[in-house]
Amino acid sequence: MSTDHINRRGFLAYSAAGAAITSTPAFARSAWGSERQSKGSEMARPKAIFFDVNETLLDLTSMKRSVASALGGREDLLSLWFTTMLQYSLVSSAGGQYEDFGVIGAATLRMVARNNGIDLGESDAKNAIMPIRSLPPHPDVREGLQRIKSAGYRMITFTNSSNAGVEAQMHNAGLTDMFETRLSVEDVQMYKPHQHVYAWAARKIGLEPHECMLVAAHGWDIAGALWAGWRGAFLARPGAQLYPLAPKPEIVVPDLSAAADRLIAMKA
């Protein structure tokens, strides 16, 4: 990562192809200054890496297909539904409530359907999102995880999915053995990016916040982690955006393979 690419106007610099190429890492900037932070190999390794699951590791395409089908083929409504599901996961936490992510997903799918004149029953909505339990990993994931693991990192999944949900997801994706444990927000009954959830996860693993790094393809998750004092690696998958009003993570790369390169280069 070269300082040439650092965009000082507070927003990501993008390559001509539209992929995020770099950002100003607020963490590194204060700790090492702009010269040293520009060389990933000189940064100290985090003591554990927490991986978000949905979209970060697993490819949501098959679920999007079944949800679009339930919406009468309206693929244009998929982003709205997924965003509404995330909104209501936080509505739930803000209201002191908790329901499984899948339950919120089905309820919000019915709301989006109804707003668009589509009659969708409760069981049809649940069936439409059921493929979330058997998603394949993105093509870069298995190799990327293997290389990070071989480099000696502690690796943990950390997801808004329920315990049963992420267990099935990891089993079906053949990734169970890659991780030392799985953390679900179900145990703390509050959704990411609530600050308490990151504090809880760090304590569960026995680490201080600044020793933890989150890998995620969601701007809101990276924002929450950095606000909680964690380090972050953002995977700029298609449709993913960093939140312009949050600090920038030290790693912004297109996929997990590129993230692995950066992590392996860090001094142990």
Residue 148 or 252 having the CB closest to a second copy: 252
Applying CB under 8 A, the span of 31-39, 78-86, 175-183, 251-259 interacting with a second copy comes to 78-86
Q: What is residue 247's DSSP assignment?
A: P
Tell me how many residues contact a second copy (CB under 8 A): 46
Provide the 3-class DSSP secondary structure of residue 87.
Answer: helix
Q: Which is nearer to a second copy, 140 or 221 (CB)?
A: 221
Q: Report if residue 245 touches a second copy, rule: CB under 8 A.
A: yes
Gap between the Cα atoms of 97 and 152, Å rounded: 38
| SS3 state at 72 | coil
Q: What's the closest the beta carbon of residue 268 comes to a second copy, in angstroms?
A: 31
For a second copy, the binding residue among 219, 232, 249, 254 (CB under 8 A) is 219
Least distance CB 112 / a second copy (angstroms): 8
- Burial of 181 (C-beta count, 10 Å sphere; 0-12/13-18/19+): exposed
Assess 61 for contact with a second copy (CB under 8 A): no
Tell me: does residue 99 bind a second copy (CB under 8 A): yes
If binding is defined by CB under 8 A, does position 208 make contact with a second copy?
no
Candidate residues 19, 103, 151, 155; the one interacting with a second copy per rule CB under 8 A: 103
* Phi, psi torsion values for 170, nearest 5 degrees: -70, -40
Closest separation in Å from C-beta 35 to a second copy: 28
C-alpha separations of 203 from 64, 86, 192 in Å: 35, 25, 15
Show Cβ contacts of residue 155 under 8 Å, excluding neighbours closer than 6 positions. Answer: 48, 49, 51, 145, 148, 149, 178, 179, 180
Contact 215, 235 (CB under 8 A): yes
Is residue 94 part of the contact set for a second copy (CB under 8 A)? yes
Q: Which string of DSSP letters, residue by residue, matches 98-152?
A: ---HHHHHHHHHHHHHHHTT----HHHHHHHHGGGGGPPBPTTHHHHHHHHHHTT
Q: How far is the CB of 247 from a second copy (least distance, A)?
A: 10
Q: Which of 3, 11, 33, 187 binds a second copy (CB under 8 A)?
A: 11
Neighbours of 163 (CB within 10 A): 15
Residues that bind a second copy (CB under 8 A): 11, 14, 18, 76, 79-80, 83-84, 86-88, 90-97, 99, 103-104, 107, 110-111, 114-115, 117, 122, 191-195, 219-220, 223-224, 227-228, 239, 241, 243-246
